[in-house]
Amino acid sequence: CFFHIEYVCSYGVESIIFFFFINSLFIQIMILLSRDFVANLFPEYPQGGSSENSDKIYSLIHYLHNHYAEPISGDWLSEYFDINFDSLNRLFKQETGVPIFHYLKQVRLNHARELLTTTQLKMSEISEQTGFCDQYYFSRVFKQEFGISPKKYSISGTLDSK
């Protein structure tokens, strides 16, 4: 789902924030459903940890969606969530299927895609607003992930590079 500039003008930034909140909830629901699907398909598959761990992971997901533009390190997450980073990352991967920083990269790239199609911001501004350390790294990661440069994507509005 992409917001078009007319939508932003008509409904405002608040609706975009609401959209990302709903998107975050949707991702959490999809995680729960996929975990249930795998559990039913493969009964021998190890199930997630305690509800305390699940609560910690959901808090982490919420944190990542709200602070993706900020510098986030393993040390910071370890201190903030009061758990060793390797343990936190292992729990996160058990719950979501991906490591923390892979998930964070996806969150950042999705926000970047939104900004590329709904704003006239420069690449340096988009990379800064989405938590990438510089525009060159952002461009490299974007192209690596989607197979198209952010510049071409902003012009075409689609991931189809043709």
71: Cβ contacts below 8 Å, ≥ 6 apart: 131, 133
Per-10-residue mean pLDDT, the chain, length 162: 50 63 76 67 50 84 93 95 94 91 94 92 94 93 93 78 50
* Per-residue confidence (pLDDT) for residue 1, from 0 to 100: 40
* Per-residue confidence (pLDDT) for residue 4, from 0 to 100: 47
Cα 10 from Cα 122, distance rounded (Å): 23
Query: How much is the pTM?
Result: 0.68
* Per-residue confidence (pLDDT) for residue 133, from 0 to 100: 87
Position 124: which residue type?
Answer: S
* Per-residue confidence (pLDDT) for residue 54, from 0 to 100: 81
